[in-house]
Every structure is written in C-alpha cells, then in structure tokens.
Structure 1
Amino acid sequence: MGSNRDVESDSQLPGNAKVSSFFRYNSPLVQIILIGLVCFCCPGMFNALSGMGGGGQVDHTASNNALTALYTTFAVFGILGGGIYNILGPHRTLFVGCSTYVLYAGSFLYYNHYHHQAVAIVAGALLGVGAGLLWSAQGAIMTSYPPVNRKGTYISIFWSIFNMGGVIGGLIPFILNYNRTTAVSVNDGTYIGFMCFMSAGTILSLAILPPGKVVRDDGTKCTKILYSNVYTESWEILKLFLNWKMLLMVPAAWASNFFYTYQFNNVNGTLFTLRTRGLNNVFYWGAQMVGSIGIGYIMDFSFKSRRKRGIFGIAVVGLLATAIWAGALANQLKYKQKDPSPNLDFKNSGSHFAGPFVLYFSFGLLDAMFQSMVYWVIGALADDSEILSRYTGFYKGVQSAGAAVAWQFDTHKVSFMSQLIVNWVLTTVSYPLLFLLVLLAVKEENKTEEEPTKQVAAAADKGFAH
C-alpha cells in the first residue's frame, strides 16, 4: 500500500529530539505493557482454562470439539486479522476480539449445569474469530512498536506479563478446588473468576494507542497507518501464500500450538488430580516467563550481529527442545492411553510426582522460548506495522490450523505415543528452515536503521515486501 510508504519520512520528530520520561503513555514500553495486560486478562486466562485439561471437565469431548471449532475459525481470521487491523485500527480490533473470550468461559459455566455441547462449540467458533483479531493486532504492536535493537527484550516483557495471566489463572482452580481430590469438573466459581478477568481485559484494550501516536525514546515515531481498504488487504493477504519468507515459517507456525493438546490433555489432564493440575499450571506459565526472558536476552545481547543472534537463539531452542522431548518419551513409556489415570497428587504421591511435574514445567519453558524466537524472527523481517500485522496474522492462522487438527487427534483417540512423535518431528523440522530464513532475510541493524524507507521500497519492487 503505497500511501504508507509516503509517511515514513515523517516518522521522526523535528530536530531528531530525544523524548524524556521512560514511562510515557505514548512510549513503546508502556504500550507493550498495556497489550501484555490485555493478554494477561484474556488469552492468559484462556490458557489457564485450557491447561487444566478438557476445559476443567472430566469428559474432554466438549472441550476438544469447542477447541476444534475455535482453531478452525482462528485459522481463517488469523490470516485475515492483519488486514482487518489495518482497516479498523487497534481499538475496535482488540475490543471485538477480547469480548469473545468472556463468551467462551461463560459457555463452560453453562455446560457445568446443562451439558449441552452446542453452546460451547458455538462459543469456541466465535472465540476463534475474536482470537484471530486480537493476536493479529497484538503481533503488529509487539513486533513494530519496539526499537529495532530491543525487539527480543520487548517480546520477553510482553510474554512475561501475558503468562502471569496463566499463573494467576492456575491459582484460581487450585484454590477453589483444593479440597476436591477426585476426578470431578471444576466448580462455577472457577469459570466466574475467569470471566471477571476477561471482562477487565476487554475494557483495557481501549487504552492501546495506534502506531502513529507512539513515539520512541530517540524521537522516532512508529509507522503511521493511513487506514487501508478491503481490496488492498485482500490482495496483500493472498500474496502471503506465495511469499517465500512465510513458506519457510509454515512448519514452525503449524507446530507452535500443535503440542498444547498433548501437554494439556495427555500429560496434565491425564496424570494428575484436579487440584494438582491447577498447581501445575501455575508453574507451567511461570516457566514461560523464565523462558521468554532467557530467549529475549539471547536474541538482543548474545552477539553484536543481529543475524548471529538469530542463529544462536534458534540453536539454543533446538537443543533444549530435543532434550525435553526425549524426557517426554521416557515419561510416555511408563503409561498408555487405556491405563487408568495415575491421579498423581502434589501432596500424596511423593517422588512419583516429581518427574512428570518437571517435564510439564519444561514444556512451559520450551513453549515460551519457541514462540518468542519465532516472533523475533518475524519482527526482524520488517519494521512497518502494516507489513508485520499481515506477517503475524499469517503466522497465527497457520498456527491455529495446526491446533484444530491436534485437538481432533485427541478426540479420535490417536495414541499418546503417536501424538508425541508428531510433535517432536514438527518442531525439529522447523529449526533448519528458520536458520535459512534468518540467513537470507534478516538485515543487520545498522543497515535497517540507516535506510528503512529505501529497503522497504526496494523489497516491494522485488515482490518480497509482502
């Protein structure tokens, strides 16, 4: 969209004056914190709900079908979300997206009493639409607002705040169901607690500023958006499917939510008592905070060269993932799908609890490092909010398509071992492709900072900008 390129030259304040006050409302840091808090309240609580296995229900069928509907519509609206964000801007996109999370939690409150799957499935489909909008907007904000040389740090700040939602969300079922050690569904108060947080996040989404109003500390502005139109965005989204950069990212995108089904349902939901599942989630999402900070440091500070930092970060995640999936294999060999649930409890199971608990904690660590790494790579491909909204939308769309398939794997009783192997293979295949993407597409920071406008325009001429 040529009109956006025209305003790039106006992206700096007069005289290149530096802006004081680190915690200005219109600073990238404050805006990243705000979008982190929005995701803390909405997808953070959703993650805690899903992490209990079966949405907190003994029978996973309703949750699996609702999540399949969710990720099917998410796959479509994740890809379309970048274009919708470019048309509507952050306020309307985020508000509509967040409101669907409240409906989803409410559908399980309803299911607790009436056991009608249809309500949960419809709510899941609507949440897929909303999540596509929210995550496309979030991706554009997180990858385009920060300074070029601190994207890893800002991604880790967002990821830490967002996953604190999972920590708090894990405490809700742990506290409210502490005395319920048998395999039962969570109580109404658990779902009501989730709904309260999600409602707060919906309101808070209105505080996010559009990129044209965000000013970095060196005086530069984030990309202005002269709001797009349906025809332009439709064409640009279609071009993503022929974009070699996006094609190299497909395996990583597909794998990045595929493993949730195995981790949530077949490890946490199968091996542990109800109250222990809630406690496990506290540590799972806490591990995500640790993982995001660690990989953020590597991606920003490990080497002077931006490309070397990317390659090193991918190597670290790849080696860690191999060790964790090997541990998962060792754990999986101890039980099968048809075995009665071991009902491991943090108070009563002693040393038998330790190994599976450490494995589940490690899954959280790996998830944050893997996804933060991918977001860093996306953010290194461009600095334009308009382009990055489409890139992140494409990533979330493919990610959600993979998740929709994964939840049906569990519904159709695909063996636990088969699910583990598929997850291990998918993540392993993605690393060499990400290596190649970093080598071919990531520019060094000094080049990006010197001539951002010329590079974007040149890439557009060659057909690579989108």
Structure 2
Amino acid sequence: MEEPNFTEMGGAGQLDSTVASRANTALYSTFSIVGFCAGTFLNYCIYSASFYSYNHTKNQGFVTFSGALLGVCAAFLWCAQGTVMMAYPSENKKGRYIGIFWAIFNLGAVIGSCIPMANQWHTQKTVNVNDGTYIGFMVLMAFGGILAWFLVPPEKIVRKDGSRVQQIRHPSAISELKGLYQTLILDPWIILLFPFFFASNYFYTYQLSSYNLYMFNTRTRSFTGLFYWLSQILGSLSFGWFLDISFLTRRSRAILGWLFLFLIVNSVWGGGLSAELLLHRPPSGTSEQNFAKFNPVIDIYETERGFVGYFWLFVFYGFMDACWQTYAYWLMGAMSNDPRRLAYFAGFYKGIQSAGGAVAWGIDMGKIEIRGLYISSWALCGAGLLCAVPVVWKRVRDTEMEEEEKEEQGELAEVKA
C-alpha cells in the first residue's frame, strides 16, 4: 500500500482512528494531485517516525505533515513502479509479472504484520501499538530504499524471447504535460476506468480502519492482518496466472476476468453485511475501558463469539483486493506496450485511486457512521465494474504490439532462421 503497512492494525496502531485518518487524508490528497503528473517527471521513515513521536508527544501536526510528504514521495514511486510492471514483460506474461509484483509487495506487509504481532501477542486488552513496532517499520523502510538502487534500467532489459522493452523517450516537462492531454484524446477509453480506479483505494478505509479496528482487539488485529496480506499474495498470483492462460484469447480472458471479479466482489461484500451490523463508531473520547461496549473487540481465542467466521471474512477482503488491483494493472497493460503511455496510465491510476483514498479517509475523520463507509464502498465497486464493461468488451484486443515491436520481432525471427 502507499502508506506503511501498519494500517491494517486499525488507526495505524492508535485506539482513536482520527489521527491516522487525518494523516491518510493528507497523504492521499497530495498523492492524488502529484500522482497525475508523476508520470511526467518520473521518506517513508518519516511517516512511521511521526507515529512513534505521537506516542510520546501527541503532536498531531507532525503526523499530518508526514502524511502529506509521504503522498508526494509515493506518487513518484508508484508511477514508476506501475510503468515498470506493465512495460517490462511481454504481452503474454503481463498478468504473471503483475501477480509476482503484488505478491512480493505484500510479502513486505506480511513481515510488517509479524512485528506488531510479536510485540503485542501477550497484550490481550485493546491498547495502542508500542514503540518497538514503529521502530521495526522504520528499519524495514530504510532497507527498502537502499534496494531500489539495484533496479535494472529498461534499456538493459532483454526478455526471454530476445525482444527488448520499447525505448523510453524523455522529452521536456511541457511536452510531457501535453502528453497527458493527448493520451485522453488518443485513448479516451481510459476515462471509463476512472470509477474503477477511484474505488480501488476507497474500500481500504472500511476494511482496515473500521472492520479490523472495531471487530478485534490489538493482538488479534495483527494476526488477522497477517493473513489479510497472505491472501493478497495468493489472490495476485492465481489471478495473474489466469490472465495469462495461453489457450484463451486475451479478449476472452478479459471478459472472464471481469465476470470472476464481479462474483467475488459481490459475494464478499454481501457476506460482510451481517458483520457490519455489529460495528458502531464509539463517541469521541471513549476510554479504553469502555471501548468494548460499542463493538465486539473479539480476541483470537474467543471462538464461541464467532472469531473464525469474522477472520475468514477479513481474509477474503484481502483476496478480493488483490484480484481488483491485479485486474486493473492488467487492463491498462492490455491497452498499450509503450512505456510512455503506460506511465500516463499509471499516473491516472494512482492519482484517481489516491483521490478515492483521500475521500474515504476524510469521511472517516468526519466520524460518519461505519455503515456509510460500508455501503459506499460496495456501491463504488459495483459502479467501477459496470463502467469498465465497454473497455473490456470493445477496447481489449488480442495484441497491442506497436509497429516498431513488430519490426523488431520480424528481424529477430530472420536472425533465428
């Protein structure tokens, strides 16, 4: 996720989700603005440090500032990531590569979930996350920044079939800004995916900062968060593999993928209705002792209170998210192979996606009843899927190979012959 992965603990580890909601609103607001143009120009530690500081100083301003700064940094990072993930693989392997990326990405979240679970396992009461959790995240984030320096540049990539990534052009900033507009003119189908993009980060607020926060206590949230991310790994790998099945045409895979996503989305959200009816936002200033009066706050060992069923619901929320994100990237990758255009697509995706996240976290900060987040999340998912139907039906073709790629493939075949 764009913000550090202690979000699944609910409220970023704080009992009151207002502080985290304010930081995430700032994060996604800046992310949504910079995300649009990040494809044009192509410190996470500060975010974790701000919550470490908040545990001791209650300085909300630092937390909000760190969220805004993280949004700017994340916009450039994720636009570059989206371009690499969609442009590096060949057409018949894009689903696989997207699935592998999402699996590796969520492996970091799995490790991140183990840190608070180890630190809080012997704490059954609903309390804030301790300092060791935030310090562990800061170490992991610093290490991840170092690894980024070892990424292979596109001009040195040679695919298994001998082909290369299309040459990436680096025109001026002004011409790149014009390119955003030209992309909308040349490929207006992308506009129909905007509702799909908007929903893709909106539902995190309900899943992570409402359902997981109010349904379980601290140590249990860490446990459920671990399996939430593990299910994301399973979902991305399996769905990415399906989207690359060779005996089906790409258009057929696009249609079947949409149908599967439609079924899983409505099944999971529909199955979560009975659980949502148990959740209520406690009044501001509610003490830790009275927190459980308004919500289940179930412990991992309380099987008689239905822990197993609520646990599996959260796991399927993660599986659904992985399928949603994988399909979104695969659809964009099916619309072009040009790295420059894919950078624009990634910029649109991350910008609009983050706008959805900013709206959802802002709603959460406004203390709206949880049911409003649940209903709006389900409705936006349905609207996004319906708006994507024309793109799936009309725009996805069996190949998006550009002329220069065809010439390169022809030359390669002659050399092999």
Q: Under a length normalisation based on structure 1, what TM-score does the superposition of the two structures give?
A: 0.82
Aligned equivalents of 2:239 and 2:76: distance in 1?
Answer: 26
Report the counterpart of residue 126 of structure 2 in structure 1. 183
Matched, 1:162 2:102: no
Report the counterpart of residue 252 of structure 2 in structure 1. 308
1:229-378 correspondence to structure 2 within 5 Å: 229-240=172-183, 243-301=187-245, 303-338=247-282, 340-378=294-332
| Identical-residue share of aligned pairs (%) | 39
Q: Which 4+ residue blocks in structure 1 deviate beyond 6 angstroms?
A: none
The DSSP-based 3-state class of the residue aligned with 1:158 is: helix
Task: Measure how far apart 1:452 and its partner are.
Answer: 5.3
For residues 327-351 of structure 1, the C-alpha deviation after alignment (integer angstroms, 9 at most, x for no partner) is 1112112333346232201123445
The DSSP-based 3-state class of the residue aligned with 1:301 is: coil
Task: Measure how far apart 1:110 and its partner are.
Answer: 0.9
Aligned equivalents of 1:234 and 1:202: distance in 2?
Answer: 28
Report the counterpart of residue 460 of structure 1 in structure 2. none
For residues 133-156 of structure 1, the C-alpha deviation after alignment (integer angstroms, 9 at most, x for no partner) is 011000000000011101001111
1:3-18 correspondence to structure 2 within 5 Å: none
Report the counterpart of residue 388 of structure 1 in structure 2. 342
- Does 425-434 or 400-409 show the bigger shift? 425-434
Contact 1:303 1:309 (8 Å CA) reproduced = no
Cα RMSD (Å): 1.7
Aligned equivalents of 2:158 and 2:222: distance in 1?
Answer: 40
Aligned equivalents of 2:97 and 2:383: distance in 1?
Answer: 27
Report the counterpart of residue 28 of structure 2 in structure 1. 71
Aligned equivalents of 2:84 and 2:246: distance in 1?
Answer: 24
For residues 91-139 of structure 1, the C-alpha deviation after alignment (integer angstroms, 9 at most, x for no partner) is xxxxxxxxx2111111111111101100011110010001100110000
Report the counterpart of residue 83 of structure 1 in structure 2. 40
> Letter of the aligned partner of 1:184 in structure 2?
V
Matched, 1:173 2:123: no
Task: Measure how far apart 1:453 and its partner are.
Answer: 5.5
Matched, 1:401 2:355: yes
> Letter of the aligned partner of 2:236 in structure 1?
S
Aligned equivalents of 2:163 and 2:339: distance in 1?
Answer: 14
Aligned equivalents of 1:286 and 1:190: distance in 2?
Answer: 20
For residues 61-80 of structure 1, the C-alpha deviation after alignment (integer angstroms, 9 at most, x for no partner) is 11110000000000011111
For residues 429-458 of structure 1, the C-alpha deviation after alignment (integer angstroms, 9 at most, x for no partner) is 12232221122222213xx44845589xxx
* Aligned positions, number: 396
Report the counterpart of residue 204 of structure 1 in structure 2. 147
Aligned equivalents of 1:147 and 1:241: distance in 2?
Answer: 24
Task: Measure how far apart 1:410 and its partner are.
Answer: 0.9
Q: Under a length normalisation based on structure 2, what TM-score does the superposition of the two structures give?
A: 0.91
Task: Measure how far apart 1:208 and its partner are.
Answer: 1.2
Report the counterpart of residue 285 of structure 2 in structure 1. none
Aligned equivalents of 1:351 and 1:288: distance in 2?
Answer: 26
For residues 218-251 of structure 1, the C-alpha deviation after alignment (integer angstroms, 9 at most, x for no partner) is 1111022232211111111234555522210111
Report the counterpart of residue 54 of structure 1 in structure 2. 11
The DSSP-based 3-state class of the residue aligned with 1:228 is: coil
For residues 343-377 of structure 1, the C-alpha deviation after alignment (integer angstroms, 9 at most, x for no partner) is 20112344521121111101000000001001000
Unaligned runs of 5+ in 2: 283-292, 408-417
Report the counterpart of residue 18 of structure 1 in structure 2. none
Contact 1:211 1:385 (8 Å CA) reproduced = no
Aligned equivalents of 2:230 and 2:246: distance in 1?
Answer: 24
Report the counterpart of residue 290 of structure 2 in structure 1. none
Task: Measure how far apart 1:378 and its partner are.
Answer: 0.4
Aligned equivalents of 1:302 and 1:280: distance in 2?
Answer: 36
Distance 1:353 1:302, change over 3 A: farther
> Letter of the aligned partner of 2:136 in structure 1?
G
Aligned equivalents of 1:102 and 1:409: distance in 2?
Answer: 26
Aligned equivalents of 1:349 and 1:253: distance in 2?
Answer: 37
Aligned equivalents of 1:142 and 1:335: distance in 2?
Answer: 38
1:52-131 correspondence to structure 2 within 5 Å: 52-85=9-42, 100-131=43-74
- Does 234-243 or 220-229 show the bigger shift? 234-243
Aligned equivalents of 2:117 and 2:179: distance in 1?
Answer: 46
Q: Indicate which of 421, 436, 440 corresponds to 2:375.
A: 421
The DSSP-based 3-state class of the residue aligned with 1:257 is: helix
Contact 2:220 2:299 (8 Å CA) reproduced = yes
Unaligned runs of 5+ in 1: 1-42, 86-99, 456-466
> Letter of the aligned partner of 1:246 in structure 2?
I
> Letter of the aligned partner of 2:370 in structure 1?
F
Distance 1:357 1:47, change over 3 A: farther
